[in-house]
Structure 1
Amino acid sequence: MGHAQSIIEECLALLRTLDTVRTVELRPGPADGRLVLKTDSGRLQYLCEVKRALNRPRLEHALVSAEHPPKAGTRRLLLTDFLPGSLIDLLQTTQVDFVDAAGNMLIRWPGKLHVRVKGMKPTHLAEAKASFLTTPHGLRVLFALLADSGTEVPAYRQLSERAGVSLGTVGRVALELKRRGFLETPRRKRRVLRRKRELLDLWVGGYGERLRPQLVIGRFRPSERHLGDALRRLADDRDRADVRWALTGGFGADALTGHYRGDQLVLFIDPWSSKLAATLRWLPSPEGPITVLEMFSPDTIERTLEKGGARVAHPLLVYAELLFQGRDREVETAQLIYDQYLRPDISDA
């Protein structure tokens, strides 16, 4: 039995235990199906989505990237293996309900049915957390794959160079992608990536938990009062023409959408040195508003978009950083980045 089907069956079984629920029926439909609950208070209908190993960025991504908005009289329902208590509190502020296989649930139909169960523990490790795909090196390869538009997969050696990992790592990732149905070889020497939306789910959650911590070079506080002035110092100095840099997070999103900049300057810089920090007058500070990240992939800068003089990292990195920051305005801006830059390619795969 597949992991998704197992989650569905466990969650439906839990719904059937509710006193006021008479029948539970999952019917074919958009997303992962249409769930109909017949209760003492009438017929209730959900649009279901199955998600595994949800952390906060992955949950925020699920909320932002829904492909099938529910129709009037229908609510969204997430079926998952386990949802931590902090994420249950987050869902409480949205219009999305959930059931997990551990027994936690949030069902809200005002005047008809209201169930909130929190505190149940999972019985097994979720596959997405145990997968090699979500190790730091696996995530580098996934980025190189997802950064490409379309579904054609380049040669493994090219992937190795673009992801900054060994050829053996690419081979190991490819084997797991094939095993899980993400990579197909319809004819010799041609590889095709499938289900890019699911891979994006894995990558977004893994970015904040596994990849980003390895990329952080340090946090700094500039001498300038305004972060925009600190950025201009870096951008305007012609003596640093050999320094490659690209904005991500709020500043990157502002360059792409003009919607929101925020109070954190996060950017990829290569090469980085203490001498450069001294020249920029950026002092190390654990709580500083500037975060410098390692430019782990040539795609980080090669895909740079020139927007109003700013150099912006690939929109996928900007999006993941916004979800990692996780505040309301960042998530709101992430929605714009996804709709304008990611959805057209991801949705068609």
Structure 2
Amino acid sequence: MDKNPLQPEAVLLNAALQAARDLGLDTQLEQREPKRAAARAGAVVRIGRRGKGQQYVAEVRRLLRPANLGATLHQLDLQAAVHDMPGLLVADYINQDMADALRKQGRAFLDAAGNAYIEQPNVLIWATGRKPVAKTEAPQAGRAFQPTGLQVLFALLCHPEWVTLPYRELAARAGVAHGTVGWVMPDLQRQGFVADLKGKRGTRRLFEGERLLALWADAYARQLRPRTLMGRYYVPALAGWEEWPLGQYGAQWGGEPAGALLTNYLTPGELTLYADKLPGPLAARYRFAKEADMGHKAVVEVRHRFWHFPEDEMAAPCVPPVLVYADLLATGDARCIETAKRLYEDHVARLVRQV
């Protein structure tokens, strides 16, 4: 019996490379799981034809969905920049809509079903419409990446120094039960994200912040974000949204409007606000409607504010940048992903690169 069986991601990578060979491409796995600085790639592969080809740094992702596509692409971009080579997205299955979006952005991809987009000098592979050959099991990411665990991780990513807080205080700020922190911390220690410096008690800190953020953003989009939606409403127009006095109603901007305010780059296509409950007076003032009609076509999402940070942060115009970043990526929209990249460099990177 093989004492060192391949991990599911390695099996997936092998299957995708075989599917590429079936399309007439030459493939070679040159390095598995290369590490450089904080970036971790799934592999470095060479793909081409007739002795000529291109090196790619690959991001291997099981259960790729529109909700976590943005987080996956940003992680791939970070790896590509660090390793100084183009990125290759490898997945179990990429549906037609995602394939079209990836090709439009010029992003190379392969999946295990045989769908692919590879463009090089004298090489063009564009194959879509092939169905997945088998159902993929969800990756086991540990209890820390379950919904309430993700709330704890959110608090730690926003404030890495809180890793030293008593469990009860951290739980209160994350909006979870005390016992939740009690099982999240050991799981983070097991995965190498939390440890005591030189084994000394009282010196606990976070490690590998960039990788932790990438995993959190992916899991957040799939597991926690859908639970935060309290309602989707329609208003007559988005013009003048910057003047909405959210603070008077205990609410904060998130998503696209927060991205616009923090980067001065994006024009929101819809509005997202976070609050403890639907701010009724605000909804009445701006004529929220539950159904779209001729006079109500602009979208406003109201999401639950699940955290309990210090008062000055809860009164800020926008939710924490880590959440804005994740929400923008979760849209899967190219302009939102670009805004998320800018937000990452300006507001988020300093938090995760210090750990």
Task: Tell me if both proteins adopt one fold, taking TM over 0.5 as the criterion.
Answer: yes
1:337 to 327, 343, 354: 343
In the alignment, which residue of structure 1 is the partner of 2:209? 196
CA contact (8 A) 2:68 2:332 kept: no
Matched, 1:24 2:35: no
In the alignment, which residue of structure 2 is the partner of 1:247? 253
Would the alpha carbon gap of residues 143 and 220 (structure 1) be closer, same or farther in structure 2, given more than 3 Å must change? same
Shift of 1:152: 4.5
Q: Which amino acid aligns with 1:26?
A: E
- Partners of 1:14 and 1:247 lie apart in 2 by 44
In the alignment, which residue of structure 1 is the partner of 2:106? 95
Structure 2-normalised TM-score?
A: 0.78
Counterparts of residues 252-291 of structure 1 (less than 5 Å): 252-270=258-276, 272=278, 274=280, 277-278=283-284, 280-287=285-292, 289-291=299-301
- Partners of 2:241 and 2:35 lie apart in 1 by 52
Would the alpha carbon gap of residues 165 and 61 (structure 1) be closer, same or farther in structure 2, given more than 3 Å must change? same
Q: Which amino acid aligns with 2:258?
A: G
- Partners of 2:321 and 2:18 lie apart in 1 by 40
Shift of 1:189: 4.0
SS state of the match for residue 114, structure 1?
strand
Q: Which amino acid aligns with 2:94?
A: L
Deviation string 1:15-55 (CA, Å, 9 cap, x unpaired) is 4555452x613135755243234631523321223334322
CA contact (8 A) 2:157 2:351 kept: no
Q: Which amino acid aligns with 2:98?
A: L
In the alignment, which residue of structure 2 is the partner of 1:119? 131
Would the alpha carbon gap of residues 301 and 111 (structure 1) be closer, same or farther in structure 2, given more than 3 Å must change? farther
Would the alpha carbon gap of residues 153 and 98 (structure 1) be closer, same or farther in structure 2, given more than 3 Å must change? farther
Shift of 1:256: 1.1
CA contact (8 A) 1:11 1:101 kept: yes
Deviation string 1:157-179 (CA, Å, 9 cap, x unpaired) is 22211111112222233343334
CA contact (8 A) 2:48 2:123 kept: no
Shift of 1:126: 2.5
- Partners of 2:219 and 2:132 lie apart in 1 by 24
Matched, 1:157 2:165: no
CA contact (8 A) 1:299 1:314 kept: no
- Partners of 2:164 and 2:50 lie apart in 1 by 52
CA contact (8 A) 2:69 2:332 kept: no
- Partners of 1:277 and 1:119 lie apart in 2 by 44
Shift of 1:149: 4.2
SS state of the match for residue 283, structure 1?
coil
SS state of the match for residue 309, structure 2?
helix
In the alignment, which residue of structure 2 is the partner of 1:315? 321
Counterparts of residues 199-218 of structure 1 (less than 5 Å): 199-218=212-231
In the alignment, which residue of structure 1 is the partner of 2:44? 34
Deviation string 1:199-239 (CA, Å, 9 cap, x unpaired) is 3233323334332332222233457x55525843545xxxx
Runs of 4+ in 1 over 6 A off after TM superposition: none
Q: Which amino acid aligns with 1:48?
A: A
SS state of the match for residue 78, structure 2?
coil
Identity %: 28
- Partners of 1:36 and 1:300 lie apart in 2 by 50
Aligned length: 335
Shift of 1:258: 1.4
Deviation string 1:228-286 (CA, Å, 9 cap, x unpaired) is 25843545xxxx4xx422111222122212112313221112454545644x3533324
- Partners of 2:239 and 2:303 lie apart in 1 by 17
Provide structure 2 residue ranges, at least 5 long, that are not aligned to the other structure: 1-5, 293-297
